Amino acid sequence: MKDKRLFTPGPTEVPKEVLKAISGKVMHHRKKEFSGIFENVIKNSAKVFRSQGEIFLFSSSGTGAMEASVVNFTSPGDKALVIISGKFGQRWAQLCSAFDVETEIIDCTWGEAVDPGKVRECLQSNPDIKAVFATLLETSTAVVHPIKELAEAVRDTNALLIVDAVSGLACEELETDQWGVDIVAAASHKALMNPPGLGLLCVGDKARQVYEKNTRKCYYWDLKKASASLKNLQTPYTPAVNMVYGLDKAIEMLLKEGMENVWQRHRDLATIAREGLKDMGLELFALSPSNGLTAVKVPEGKDCKKILTSLEEDARMVFAGGQSHLKGKIIRVAHMGWCFEKDIRRALDALKKELDKQ
Ligand code: PMP
């Protein structure tokens, strides 16, 4: 039977070159051979993050990189500002709560992006805020947030700007150093075109001074230990060796295409998706729509579950529905990572046929 094509916002399609790299011979992670590949991945990931900062790799999903941010850059009792506009902003708040960080919350209507002015105001009235937790691409609503403007609002304060770019890295423009973003969390299985299994963290200079002095106890996620290992081109614990081969290959492919071209390809795919979906009479859910995925409202009288099941079983294409209160209400079409015009046009055709059938 034909394989199912993923149009989900993670995991995403993995190019055959990357799968081939992953299937290579397992190397020992403390040997020179592996350190060479590891060094390459770290050096080239920095070019994707557009940062001269430290890059950490964890054998984890994206949430691991998020947890690493909370435990290394906050202490119990610290105050943080969390921007919530969907499920993944909520995750920042849950992590803060799990690690005894007091939170000020900016609650955005789902589907809307945050107003940087509100962040500025909140920081002015709460000068004791140590960190601002934001999301580049809020996957649950397909919204992109104005990270550049948020960085401007945070720049002259004592707070760190910590951005979840798990979905956004490599499909949305992100100039980590130039914009002044302090910490960026990412993962392998979105626009980085790999299977799930690696969490990444990019840490700038201002942030580095914070984790170096942080006294909160943690173990697996300890960046002081990870940084000491990084100097020897190693990780403190056994890395997901074959996943590192995969990331090495994917990043080589992204850099060969050129990050500006990668961002442009995603802009073009998003335009095709938005226009095509609107032509079908569908309404976009996000008011600030991302380039990595597009969400549309399920038309009155149509059964979302039935549409998604038929697309999966008949067209062999997997799309995502809504999460939390948006279950049954939206369909999300991802065009992040290994996705090209012919793929998104095929997805739109299949969706149109299914909607016409219902
Ligand atoms: N943040 C965002 C924006 C995400 O889309 C996801 C995954 N859907 C996560 C965080 C969590 O990542 P993971 O499921 O890999 O832990």
Tens of pLDDT, residues 71-98: 999 999 999 999 999 999 999 999 999 9
pLDDT of 185 > 90? The answer is: yes
Q: What is the pLDDT of residue 44?
A: 98
How close is the Cα of 332 to the center of ligand 1, in Å? 15
Average pLDDT over residues 45-54: 98
Q: Minimal CA–CA distance to 251: which of 44, 17, 35?
A: 44
What's the rounded mean pLDDT across residues 34-44? 98
**Which DSSP string corresponds to 65-106?**
HHHHHHHHH--TT-EEEEEESSHHHHHHHHHHHHTT-EEEEE
- Strands laid side by side in the 54-58 sheet: 54-58, 199-203, 183-187, 160-164, 129-135, 79-84, 102-107
pLDDT for 178 beyond 90? yes
Residue 344: predicted pLDDT: 98
* 214-236 per-position pLDDT tens digit: 999 999 999 999 999 999 999 99
Average pLDDT estimate for 24-34:
97
Residue 99 has which token pair?
């690690």
- Nearest atom, ligand 1, residue 165 CA: 3
Predicted pLDDT of residue 340 = 98
Asked if pLDDT for residue 43 goes beyond 90, the answer is: yes
26 CA distance to ligand 1 middle (Å): 27
The pLDDT value recorded for residue 341 is 98
Whole-number percent of the chain with pLDDT over 90 = 99
Ligand 1 centre from 214 Cα, in Å? 26
Pocket test for ligand 1, best of 88, 135, 145 (most atoms within 8 A of CB): 88
The CATH code for residues 16-256 is 3.40.640.10
* H or E stretch at 151: helix 147-155
Q: Report the mean per-residue pLDDT for the chain.
A: 98
Confidence of residue 312 (pLDDT cuts 50, 70, 90): very high
Per the structure block, which two tokens stand in for 175?
């100039």
What band does 358 get if pLDDT is binned at 50, 70 and 90?
confident
The SS3 call for residue 242 is helix
Q: pLDDT per residue over 104-157, tens digit each?
A: 999 999 999 999 999 999 999 999 999 999 999 999 999 999 999 999 999 999
The residues lining ligand 1, judged by C-beta closer than 6 Å to any ligand atom, are 10, 61-63, 88, 135, 137, 139, 164, 166-167, 187
Give 133 Cα–ligand 1 centroid separation in angstroms: 14
HSE-up of residue 102 (Cα within 13 Å, Cβ side): 7
Q: Region 322-335: what's the mean pLDDT?
A: 97
Span 268-286, average pLDDT: 98
Q: Residue 322: pLDDT above 90?
A: yes
CATH 1.10.10.60 assigned to domain 5-11+259-357? The reply is no
Instruction: Please tell me the distance from the alpha carbon of residue 180 to that of residue 141, in angstroms, as a whole number.
Output: 25
Residue 14: the pLDDT is: 98
Distance CA 299, CA 161 (A): 38
| For ligand 1, atom 9: residue with the closest CA | 62
Give the Å distance between the CA of 63 and the centre of ligand 1. 6
Give the atom of ligand 1 at the shortest distance from the alpha carbon of 61.
15
Of 293, 277, 283, 254, the residue nearest 348 (C-alpha): 277
Residues in the chain: 358
Check pLDDT > 90 for residue 172: yes
Q: Which of 139, 140, 200, 323 to mutate to test the pocket of ligand 1 (most atoms within 8 A of CB)?
A: 139
What does the pLDDT read at residue 121?
98
Q: Specify the ligand 1 atom closest to the Cα of 138.
A: 3
336: CB partners within 8 A, 6+ apart = 9, 10, 12, 167, 170, 171, 190, 191, 266, 292, 293
Structure pTM? Answer: 0.98
Q: Once rounded to an integer, what is the mean pLDDT over residues 168-197?
A: 98
Instruction: List where CATH 3.90.1150.10 sits in the chain.
Output: 5-11+259-357
pLDDT digits (tens, 9 = 90+) for 55-70: 999 999 999 999 999 9
Q: How far is CA 351 from the centre of its chain?
A: 25
Q: How far is the CA of 191 from the centre of ligand 1 (A)?
A: 12
Rounded Cα gap, residues 323 and 330, in angstroms: 9
Distance 190 CA to ligand 1 centre (A): 9
* Residues 8-25: b if buried by 16+ CB within 10 A, e if exposed: bbbbbbbbeebeebbeee
Chain region(s) in the chain for CATH 3.40.640.10: 16-256
- Ligand 1 centroid to Cα of residue 140, in Å, is 10
